[in-house]
Amino acid sequence: MAIDLSKLSPNDAVVALRSYPRRFRSALAPISDDEGIEELAQQAGPEGESAVEATADVVRTWTVLREALRQIQVADTPVVHAAVVDASQRHWESPVRETVAEVLAQLDDAAAELADAVAAVPGDGWLRTAQVAGGGTVSALDVVREAVRTGHEGLARVEAILAALRRDAR
């Protein structure tokens, strides 16, 4: 499931980020009037996570990453949360209560805001870095690559959860 993003350019990242809403919508709600999709998407899969929760995790992570990108661009000595580079640090306290339509709308907004933020970074802005709380550094480009990775892995989780639930329903 690992994806190599070492050669991903900022322009390619913008395209990828703008594609995720369509791709998540295709996975979560392939038929817009399917009444059973809400129940299926809210049901916990084999790992204990629903497709809606997996999608909400992407939105929450993108919010953290967008703020890190902003901090790297505007602060003289930025320090960003460890969750920017370490997925194990991404623990969300509030439960997910959104419907499929609500979480997809949030994903649409988060993807557009992040893609716009990436597109607005000037050429020399990609060289800027931040200290990561707890140690290490991260560049603006690393943050953007993590955003694309988060979308890719989140989409794969959603697809796997839904596939497992459909298999179990047979």
Q: What is the pLDDT at residue 153?
A: 96
pLDDT of the chain, 170 residues: tens digit per residue: 578 999 999 999 999 999 999 999 999 987 665 678 888 899 999 999 999 999 999 999 999 999 999 999 999 999 999 999 998 888 777 778 889 999 999 999 999 999 999 999 999 999 899 999 999 999 999 999 999 999 999 999 999 999 999 888 76
> Are the C-beta atoms of 52 and 41 separated by less than 8 Å?
yes
From the list 108, 110, 87, 98, the residue with the least C-alpha distance to 157 is: 87
Determine the Cα–Cα distance for residues 19 and 27; give it in Å rounded to an integer.
13
Q: Which two tokens stand for residue 87?
A: 């997925």
User: 21-39: per-residue pLDDT in tens?
Assistant: 999 999 998 766 567 888 8
Q: Which two tokens stand for residue 136?
A: 């290490």
The domain limits of the chain are: 10-169
User: What torsion, rounded to 10 degrees, do the Cα atoms 86, 89, 92, 93 define?
Assistant: -170
CATH 1.20.1050.10 fits 10-169, yes or no: no
Percent of the chain scored above 70 by pLDDT? 96
Q: What is the pLDDT at residue 93?
A: 73
Q: What is the pLDDT at residue 34?
A: 66
Determine the Cα–Cα distance for residues 60 and 73; give it in Å rounded to an integer.
20
